[in-house]
Chain A
Amino acid sequence: MLKYPVESGLYSPENEHDACGVGFVVRITGERTHDIVERGMQVLENMVHRGAEGADHKTGDGAGILVQIPHEFILLQGIPVPERGHYGTGLVFFPKIQSEADLCMELLRSILTADGLNLLAVRDVPVNSDILGEISRSNEPTIKQIVVTGPGKPEELERKLYIARKKVEKATAQSTLTEKRNFYVVSLSTQKIVYKGMLTSLQLREYFPDLTHPNFTSAIALVHSRFSTNTFPTWDLAQPFRLLGHNGEINTIKGNRFWMQARESVLKSDLLGNMEDLYPILQSGMSDSASLDNMLEFLVMAGKTLPHAMSMLVPDSWNETNPISDELKAFYEYHSTLMEPWDGPATLLFSDGRYVGGTLDRNGLRPARYLITNDNMMIVASETGVQSFPAEQIREKGRLKPGKMLMVDTETHKIYYDAELKKEIASAHPYREWLEKNRLKLETLTSGREVKNNLPNLKALMQAFGYSKEDIERLMIPMALEGKEPISSMGNDAPIAVLSDKPQRLFAYFRQLFAQVTNPPIDPIREELVMSLTAFIGSHQANMLEPNPEHCKVVKLKSPVVTNKEFDILKNIRYKRFSSVELPMLFPLSGGASALEKAVNNLCLKAEEAVENGHNYLILTDRGVNADMVAIPSLLAVSAVHHHLIECRKRMQIDIVVESAEPREVMHFALLFGYGASVINPYGAFAVLDDLVKNKEIQSDYETAEKHYIKSINKGLLKVLSKMGISTLRSYRGAQIFEAIGISSEVLKHYFEGTTSKVEGITMEDIARDAICMHQEGFAVDDPKSPQNNGVYSWRKEGELHAWNPETISRLQIAARTGSYEKYKEYVAAVDQKSHPIFLRDFLAFKGQKPIDISEVEPASEITKRFVTGAMSYGSISREAHEALAIAMNIVGGKSNTGEGGEDPVRFKKRADGTSVRSAIKQIASGRFGVTTEYLVNADELQIKVAQGAKPGEGGQLPGYKVDQIIAKTRHSIPGISLISPPPHHDIYSIEDLAQLIFDLKNVNPLARVSVKLVSESGVGTVAAGVAKAKADMILISGCEGGTGASPSSSIKHAGLPVEIGLAETQQTLVMNGLRGQVRLQTDGQLKTGHDIVVAALLGAEEFGFATSALIVLGCVMMRKCHLNTCPVGVATQNEDLRKRFVGRYEYLVNFFNFLAEDVREHLAALGYRKLDDIVGKTDLLEFMPKADNLKMQKLDFSRLLYKPAGDQAIRNVKPQVHDIFDIQDRSLISLSMPALEMQSPVQFVRDIKNTDRTVGAMLSGEIAKRYGYEGLADNTISCTFKGSAGQSFGAFLAKGVTFRLEGDANDYLGKGLSGGRIIVVPAEGTAYAPDSNIIAGNTLLYGATGGEVYINGQVGERFCVRNSGAITVVEGAGDHCCEYMTGGRVVVLGKTGRNFAAGMSGGIAYVLDEEGDFDFFCNMQMVELSLIEEMADNRELRNLIAAHYRHTKSPKAKHILENWDEYVEKFIRVIPIEYKKVLHDEKIEAVKKKIAQVEYDY
């Protein structure tokens, strides 16, 4: 039986994610009817695909509805309530155990009574438990409705009910109840009531018969269905909460919670009285959405209006790229000094019973569509089509835009649009004036003081702070020269910090977390408009509930990394009684660990004192390091002080500024900010720069070097933030988006609260010893050494160990080439019996049972079937290498992976010599390069790459000069044009999106299994559970050790976890959730030998991936120069001359894989098992072998890693996923199209369509591609008209020869991967509104389209034509980020566009009708050029496109334009990427040259 688990093994409930469908229906005029409730439930039911079900296929993750209090219905129940609004009511979940339930009731009653309230009635809410699934039933609460009366006006009573509920929560938390979660007040209000449970969308009405009662009426129905990554019975986490339904994820939640905790000490509210009663404001143990709801409710109860509170919590961006009023910018800036944003993708729908509205995060990462009818009904939902109306009845169709809000007042019957709402809140106070009067800008301050950058004892300090030669040469110099972080390649094969026998900086024990699946990372370059590093320091953050100009008495900094000069100013500001205090981060050398501990504690006390003395910020400094005083690791000092101040509720009153010689690389800065620092002055790094400039190592002046260095750090910070989908440093600060590896929980609990560590590790003693050891290198010798090369990036004899070293590389190459198993064993010896462990697996030995004879073990061919090669694109590696991998895998029965970048269709057929170069696995990465229907149907596995081990959360770029004819062809692009892979898949912003993409792919190719590639990090198991529920057939857990062709050095070294941890966590979580049986698990990450494979199998993997090792077999010598295209062995290059040096052969790989399989067989025989399947997940066969020779390693603890969940759930894949691709539209489309498919005779038909009909056309297109390849059928061979609202992915992968005409509207992802088909979207017949001013299709249309035509008579959402590489399209208005990353095709926009048009656009042309003359403001000019329509050819092309649009859609706007062509043609702007312009220009020149040549010839 599944129970809500406590933390066990590697699983932690903290990692749970959810996402969902949300919606509301409102009668604007406020009439309460049952119809609205009914419609609300229908909305939910029509988004059933956005929720999820558990392993028993009956348990939903949660569904609920918020309505106005159904007064008549309550009266009908015989409860003598007073008039509407004068009593409160709500549902309460009670524990099933009677004695506990009684206790709870008693507690409730006593609190209500004490607060002067009267529990008027308790009603047993009728429920239909029979329909529940096993999992949800296991923890079904007893549900009662309570009715409470009390004195005072409705608002006062509402507040009293709130306070009483908070008291109940607090009392429950402090009680002795065994199952505290089971006592939960769903809502308690005078205005609104929530019904919810662990239900599917369809179960809600059946479970609560109340909801179907005709007298159950409301003017508002806000609904929510949940898709959670877990399947544990958590009734309380269903939504809506008290005010909010949230679809999305709060990435900064950890920080937000800490800050709120800290803030509690300064809050005051006359309205709420004794604040202590309300604390904690954020109920613990709940989801991110629940915390946000708590926060919103608190602000509203404290007197903020809903729009005001919402705008504080989830502010729009307010930099210069956002066209909002200055007043509103001031509002946001003022509030940003009070509170950090709750950052992350979000559709937030809210209601207090009178108002109902919604808002979107600043980046618009969740969809929300609305519709208003002529009879004053409004529907807002994640999708359009959740309610259908006759076309004539619709007054308006629109969508919530990024950062924008919409609200309805059911009392005044008014719709408030964003502008009006924001104007009102922005003008409530003179925020601009307040800011100007109080807020200082650092860049405007100057001083006459001389500030030095050099340090007299630099050499000693560099040793003491552990500067290595590589730090300087590989990181700092490139940063100072180029202004950006350096790039490296291949993976990280050096030991993690705790396994190294060299002293380490504390920074080295931390790893960056990153977003995968449950929320999208951001592209900080192309979507810079939402990013911000602005920092404020200095305010006595008083009571944020009270508007006060003094709040913004702060210093504003553009960059949180400050120069010595700026720092000097900051230190000496005395403006408005500013004051700071310096606290030395030092401890005496002689005292060792205890001195360090004492010093840190003392620092905390001093910090507390500083608050009491009224200082604005404290400066933690290690300037005083000398022979006797050692620097406390800056991270330890910052985090300790930060957490201490939070704990004593004094953190809000003071800011932490760090002056340290320790931080030098991006990761160091990110950590210091992530653990609470506001500003950092890296004086040591500056002194090094100064020295390098003086020694001419950096050929520029100091100022330039410094500027570049800071710029690199800042850019790097943005990258680190965006990896987690966080857009502002203000919300990143203190959010602790890190995990530790190899630190003891004792240290973490004391100084890094909230940080997880899975395998235990170092204590304060080790930290002190390392600090002292480095210090001594600098101060205990006469003449400190120059920084040494520690071999972190490149191998050095005396440096850090590397798993790939001369011995292992050469032995492997020799073994594979000679085909000698003995030589292979020599290689194995070098890997398995290394002198010193490098990986966690090196600590794991097998507990042999009864060995069997090797002849009894399954043959090698059964084992090689489980092998795959890593995703390496043709482009990143040479054709020779790519094909050798494919041939070898096809021979041994494994699978090779195309990587991102398509595959030449020639390779789909066998070669004359019988070998096959077809890659069995076709990867679908965020760039969607070469992802055509044909590509997808020629696969055995379709792999969605969510993240890559070497650079999780980041995109990539193939520079134009690398894109030659053939690469361009396979990627369906143009030679010479840069190809950018965005950090996120633009169709996966959440888990339900992933489910949709899996569904899409299953439709195109039902025979291929769909896999999802994740990267090991804390919480990956939970993500994997969500992925399993999203119906992936296989999940790949990739280790952070994985390779790359090019990635920022900091990502290779500091992001992600070793594969052992991620794999074990995934296995444990899937087993605990009962989901393991339905998916296969694959793993990779520096697997090298049979031992590694068997360890991975025992930890839970069924399949195994090899990439670096395979390349080494083919000749790679780990140059780590892939990114320079200079691979001297012809593996990772496209250069003809270098490719000639390639000596690899597929036979070598065949040898290698057979050796590996034999090696596995030997282990199996020794373990006493016949089949690899028999050992999958059997962690009890693994034994932790402690290594005694190292003080740090002795402290490791693998018990959580080796934990095996109890119970009888499957521990390996035993059954297939059930994909819902049987009862779908396409099945009938295919049968109707048989004549076309079989005989190419044209067919035509008309069909109805609903939003639940998803991915229509994909399966049909798959059938076409199977038969006819990319060429498809003749134009219009299949022509189909649909009527209604199309579900997501309408016309996805539509093949050539198919025309889809949609009369109605469409949801997100229309035309995804369009492969030659034609889509026409027009409003339904009879539509009264003007099509060009209403929205007709959703977000992210034509994502990765390679060809075809799309004509849309109306506006569309964000990211239209993202990564389009060949489709031609006309649309009448688009949202933000239109044409993002586009590499080809034509886009015509006959109307307004949103912001950031053409970001990252490297190919194709867009024409935009710029009637208001302000298009340039909305266009991202980084890569494109704007011009008028000057050339005749362009004029003609544009006119033809619009004419075609008119022909297909009868668009009135198109008609008007065509009729007034000469007038309109001048209003068009032509957007052309600079690179593309050059290509076109070159083509023209080439053509002219040819002509000239011919002319001369004739002459």
Chain B
Amino acid sequence: MGNPKAFLSIDRKEAGYRPVHERKTDFGEVEQTLNNEDRMLQASRCMDCGVPFCHWACPLGNKMPEYQDLVYKGKWKQAYEILAETNDFPEFTGRICPALCEKSCVLNISHQAVTIRENEASVTERAYNEGWIVANPPKTRTGKKVAVIGSGPAGLVAANRLNKMGHEVTVYEKFPQVGGLLRSGIPNFKLNKSVIDRRIGLMEEEGVRFVTSAEVGKTVSLKEIKSSSDAVCITIGSGVARDLPAEGRELKGVHLALEFLSQQNLSLAGLPIEGEAINAKGKRVLVIGGGDTGSDCVGTSNRQGALEVTQIEILPKPPVGENPQTPWPNWPNVLKTSSSHEEGCIRRWCLTTKRFIGKNGQLTGVEIAEVEWNTDPATGRFTMQETGKTEIIKADLVFLAMGFVHPEHEGLLDELTVSYDQRGNVSVGSLNESSVKGVFAAGDAVSGASLVVRAMASGRQMAEAVNDYLKK
């Protein structure tokens, strides 16, 4: 398998991003691609480990060593087939997955992980380009009907799988377009929306029905769906964003990150936006929250022509390079610099937000306070104290990117009378079934906000459970 010695002579080579000056002016995907020869060499670096930690780390259980080997040997088609066995939409994960696999790659011990994610994207694009991915509707139908509510990654995977198992699947989406957060939350410069359309087209050809602008429990009757389906899958995501109820929150210019991001995506899609348009052009932007969503706000703000972008985070700055607290093969808590950060951004840590300051109802600044983190010797807990140092950052726009709380209870979930767990997520058993018979749930709605790849894995697991349920 592979070339066991390649890693000794071939270095990790990332395709990298388009130059900052070029990419900053458009919403095209920032990541470049390698040519096939280089890609094959990169794949050859896989050592086909006896214990493939990459495969372990991947929530989907993608068989990295197997498809790397096939890419190395130029067997792109088989590589796609192997990939598709575990991953319904490698074109998504190949672009936007944080690649837990690469963090666990044995070669990552020396920071030379195999470029697994990029290889995955290449395999999939090649498969599309060569026309290997064609609709393959199930040969027989079971006659069972499944309603999938929510068309994010979890819902799409579930729909795809259940359809292939022969069930008749209808997907309900409250927005005018399918895709959930993939569509609305992830900026186009990371995931071009045509990638989603391409997949949805295939699914439709294979027989999945998509009903858009249909908010179940509001615009569509839940009763009707329940009575016409043999099983219901809830994949509505973790819709309630964490807010910051500080003084001045009502000021104009303070937005949840997703409001901002989805607006941009809608407008790029040529669709009307609801409410007031947010535009960062010529503005000072403060992003509160140091995670990926925050980073997306940074990238989007810059593209809109923001004057200055600052991103603050309450936690300390993670170490650069290596963190002994999170040793391999765990996910490393280290400083991550995204393509958006490269495009221009002030990043600060250990800052908490005290209040929003405004003038005439319009935000002008934010008062922040410095905090320090200490380990409580008694409990061993990591605790935060304010140092007393405060500061005011001038800002015309604030985006709150502090994560999500739980799914929207109102409407669908309450009407279904499903139980919630302590955190307010839909409570399910090991087989993804909720407290209501025949109602299943997966993805962020169950786990709280997490990665696309986890949502997909969860959707897949639910599909199996639903299938077993329907077989009974």
Residues of A whose CB lies within 8 Å of any CB of B are: 469, 473, 490, 782, 789, 793-798, 802, 804-806, 809-810, 813-814, 817, 1117-1121, 1124, 1126, 1128-1129, 1135, 1137-1138, 1141, 1143
Question: How many angstroms between the C-alpha atoms of A388 and B66 in the bound complex?
Answer: 72
Q: How far is the CB of A1363 from chain B (nearest CB, A)?
A: 31
The reply to whether the CB of B330 lies closer than 8 angstroms to some CB of chain A is yes
User: What would be 29 A-B contacts, judged by CB atoms less than 8 Å apart?
Assistant: A789-B66, A794-B48, A794-B51, A795-B52, A796-B52, A797-B55, A797-B61, A804-B51, A805-B56, A806-B51, A806-B104, A809-B51, A810-B328, A810-B329, A817-B327, A1117-B49, A1119-B50, A1119-B51, A1119-B106, A1120-B51, A1121-B4, A1121-B50, A1124-B5, A1126-B5, A1126-B47, A1128-B109, A1128-B110, A1129-B106, A1138-B8
Cβ B47 vs Cβ A1118 within 8 A:
no
Cβ A806 vs Cβ B7 within 8 A:
no
Chain A residues within 8 Å of B49, by CB = 794, 1117-1121
Question: How many angstroms between the C-alpha atoms of A1128 and B51 in the bound complex?
Answer: 13
Question: How many angstroms between the C-alpha atoms of A806 and B53 in the bound complex?
Answer: 6
Cβ A1141 vs Cβ B109 within 8 A:
yes
The reply to whether the CB of B180 lies closer than 8 angstroms to some CB of chain A is no
Interface residues of B in 37-56 (CB under 8 A from A): 47-53, 55-56
The reply to whether the CB of B471 lies closer than 8 angstroms to some CB of chain A is no
Q: How far is the CB of A482 from chain B (nearest CB, A)?
A: 14
> Which of the listed residues A793, A817, A1128 has the most CB atoms from chain B within 10 Å of its own CB?
A1128
Question: How many angstroms between the C-alpha atoms of A1143 and B327 in the bound complex?
Answer: 13
Cβ A1129 vs Cβ B4 within 8 A:
no
Cβ A806 vs Cβ B50 within 8 A:
no
The reply to whether the CB of B1 lies closer than 8 angstroms to some CB of chain A is yes
The reply to whether the CB of B284 lies closer than 8 angstroms to some CB of chain A is no
16 further contact pairs, Cβ within 8 A, besides A810-B329, A1120-B50: A789-B66, A794-B50, A795-B52, A805-B51, A806-B104, A1118-B49, A1119-B47, A1119-B49, A1120-B51, A1121-B47, A1121-B50, A1126-B4, A1126-B7, A1128-B107, A1138-B8, A1141-B110
Q: Which of A804, A814, A1141 contacts B327 (CB 8 A)?
A: A814
**Nearest-neighbor residue (CB-CB) of A808 within chain B:** B51
Cβ B50 vs Cβ A793 within 8 A:
yes
Q: How far is the CB of B68 from chain A (nearest CB, A)?
A: 13
Question: How many angstroms between the C-alpha atoms of A1120 and B47 in the bound complex?
Answer: 10
> Which of the listed residues A806, A809, A1121, A1143 has the most CB atoms from chain B within 10 Å of its own CB?
A806
Question: How many angstroms between the C-alpha atoms of A1120 and B49 in the bound complex?
Answer: 7
Cβ A813 vs Cβ B63 within 8 A:
no
Which 6 residue pairs across A and B have the least CB separation, nearest first?
A1120-B50, A806-B56, A797-B61, A1118-B51, A795-B51, A1118-B50
Question: How many angstroms between the C-alpha atoms of A1070 and B49 in the bound complex?
Answer: 42
Q: Which of A473, A798, A1129 contacts B61 (CB 8 A)?
A: A798
The reply to whether the CB of B237 lies closer than 8 angstroms to some CB of chain A is no
Cβ B63 vs Cβ A789 within 8 A:
yes
The reply to whether the CB of B65 lies closer than 8 angstroms to some CB of chain A is yes
Chain B residues within 8 Å of A795, by CB = 50-52, 55-56
Q: How far is the CB of A788 from chain B (nearest CB, A)?
A: 9
Cβ A1128 vs Cβ B47 within 8 A:
yes
The reply to whether the CB of B21 lies closer than 8 angstroms to some CB of chain A is no
The reply to whether the CB of B389 lies closer than 8 angstroms to some CB of chain A is no
**Nearest-neighbor residue (CB-CB) of B53 within chain A:** A806
The reply to whether the CB of B359 lies closer than 8 angstroms to some CB of chain A is no
Cβ B104 vs Cβ A1137 within 8 A:
no
Question: How many angstroms between the C-alpha atoms of A798 and B49 in the bound complex?
Answer: 16
Question: How many angstroms between the C-alpha atoms of A789 and B64 in the bound complex?
Answer: 12
Chain A residues within 8 Å of B107, by CB = 1128
**Nearest-neighbor residue (CB-CB) of B62 within chain A:** A797
**Nearest-neighbor residue (CB-CB) of A802 within chain B:** B51
Cβ A813 vs Cβ B327 within 8 A:
yes
**Nearest-neighbor residue (CB-CB) of A783 within chain B:** B139
Chain A residues within 8 Å of B330, by CB = 810
Residues of B whose CB lies within 8 Å of any CB of A are: 1, 4-5, 7-8, 47-53, 55-57, 61, 63, 65-66, 104, 106-107, 109-110, 139, 327-330
Question: How many angstroms between the C-alpha atoms of A1120 and B50 in the bound complex?
Answer: 5
Question: How many angstroms between the C-alpha atoms of A161 and B110 in the bound complex?
Answer: 82
Chain B residues within 8 Å of A793, by CB = 50
Chain A residues within 8 Å of B52, by CB = 794-796
Question: How many angstroms between the C-alpha atoms of A805 and B104 in the bound complex?
Answer: 13
Chain B residues within 8 Å of A1117, by CB = 49, 51, 53, 106, 109
Q: How far is the CB of B6 from chain A (nearest CB, A)?
A: 9
**Nearest-neighbor residue (CB-CB) of B50 within chain A:** A1120
Question: How many angstroms between the C-alpha atoms of A813 and B163 in the bound complex?
Answer: 44
Cβ A1129 vs Cβ B109 within 8 A:
yes
Indicate whether A1137 sits within 8 Å of B48 (C-beta atoms), given known contacts A806-B56, A813-B327: no
Q: How far is the CB of B1 from chain A (nearest CB, A)?
A: 7
Chain A residues within 8 Å of B48, by CB = 794
Chain B residues within 8 Å of A1141, by CB = 109-110
Question: How many angstroms between the C-alpha atoms of A797 and B1 in the bound complex?
Answer: 19
Q: How far is the CB of A43 from chain B (nearest CB, A)?
A: 57
Q: How far is the CB of A1355 from chain B (nearest CB, A)?
A: 50
Question: How many angstroms between the C-alpha atoms of A796 and B47 in the bound complex?
Answer: 15
Q: How far is the CB of B340 from chain A (nearest CB, A)?
A: 31
Q: How far is the CB of B244 from chain A (nearest CB, A)?
A: 36
**Nearest-neighbor residue (CB-CB) of B109 within chain A:** A1129
Q: Which of A1128, A1138, A1143 contacts B106 (CB 8 A)?
A: A1128
Question: How many angstroms between the C-alpha atoms of A1141 and B110 in the bound complex?
Answer: 8
Cβ B50 vs Cβ A1128 within 8 A:
no
**Nearest-neighbor residue (CB-CB) of B329 within chain A:** A810
Q: How far is the CB of A289 from chain B (nearest CB, A)?
A: 45
**Nearest-neighbor residue (CB-CB) of A1137 within chain B:** B8
Chain A residues within 8 Å of B106, by CB = 1117, 1119, 1128-1129
Question: How many angstroms between the C-alpha atoms of A782 and B104 in the bound complex?
Answer: 38
Question: How many angstroms between the C-alpha atoms of A980 and B52 in the bound complex?
Answer: 32
Chain A residues within 8 Å of B51, by CB = 794-795, 802, 804-806, 809, 1117-1120
Chain B residues within 8 Å of A1135, by CB = 8
Q: How far is the CB of A1288 from chain B (nearest CB, A)?
A: 45
**Nearest-neighbor residue (CB-CB) of B3 within chain A:** A1126
Question: How many angstroms between the C-alpha atoms of A1141 and B108 in the bound complex?
Answer: 12
**Nearest-neighbor residue (CB-CB) of A785 within chain B:** B85
Question: How many angstroms between the C-alpha atoms of A1118 and B53 in the bound complex?
Answer: 10
Chain B residues within 8 Å of A798, by CB = 61
Q: How far is the CB of B50 from chain A (nearest CB, A)?
A: 3
Chain A residues within 8 Å of B328, by CB = 810
Question: How many angstroms between the C-alpha atoms of A1094 and B104 in the bound complex?
Answer: 34
Chain A residues within 8 Å of B109, by CB = 1117, 1128-1129, 1141, 1143
Question: How many angstroms between the C-alpha atoms of A797 and B7 in the bound complex?
Answer: 24
Cβ A1126 vs Cβ B8 within 8 A:
yes
Chain A residues within 8 Å of B63, by CB = 789, 796
> Which of the listed residues B1, B51, B63, B66 has the most CB atoms from chain A within 10 Å of its own CB?
B51
Q: How far is the CB of A477 from chain B (nearest CB, A)?
A: 10
Chain B residues within 8 Å of A805, by CB = 51, 56
Q: How far is the CB of B44 from chain A (nearest CB, A)?
A: 13
> Which of the listed residues B55, B57, B65, B104 has the most CB atoms from chain A within 10 Å of its own CB?
B55
Q: How far is the CB of B209 from chain A (nearest CB, A)?
A: 24
**Nearest-neighbor residue (CB-CB) of A797 within chain B:** B61
Chain A residues within 8 Å of B61, by CB = 797-798
Question: How many angstroms between the C-alpha atoms of A553 and B409 in the bound complex?
Answer: 87
Q: How far is the CB of B5 from chain A (nearest CB, A)?
A: 6
Chain A residues within 8 Å of B53, by CB = 806, 810, 1117
> Which of the listed residues A782, A797, A1135 has the most CB atoms from chain B within 10 Å of its own CB?
A797
Question: How many angstroms between the C-alpha atoms of A55 and B55 in the bound complex?
Answer: 56
Question: How many angstroms between the C-alpha atoms of A768 and B57 in the bound complex?
Answer: 37
Q: How far is the CB of A487 from chain B (nearest CB, A)?
A: 12
Q: How far is the CB of B82 from chain A (nearest CB, A)?
A: 9
**Nearest-neighbor residue (CB-CB) of A810 within chain B:** B329
Q: How far is the CB of B437 from chain A (nearest CB, A)?
A: 26
Cβ A1124 vs Cβ B4 within 8 A:
yes
Question: How many angstroms between the C-alpha atoms of A814 and B325 in the bound complex?
Answer: 10
Chain B residues within 8 Å of A814, by CB = 327
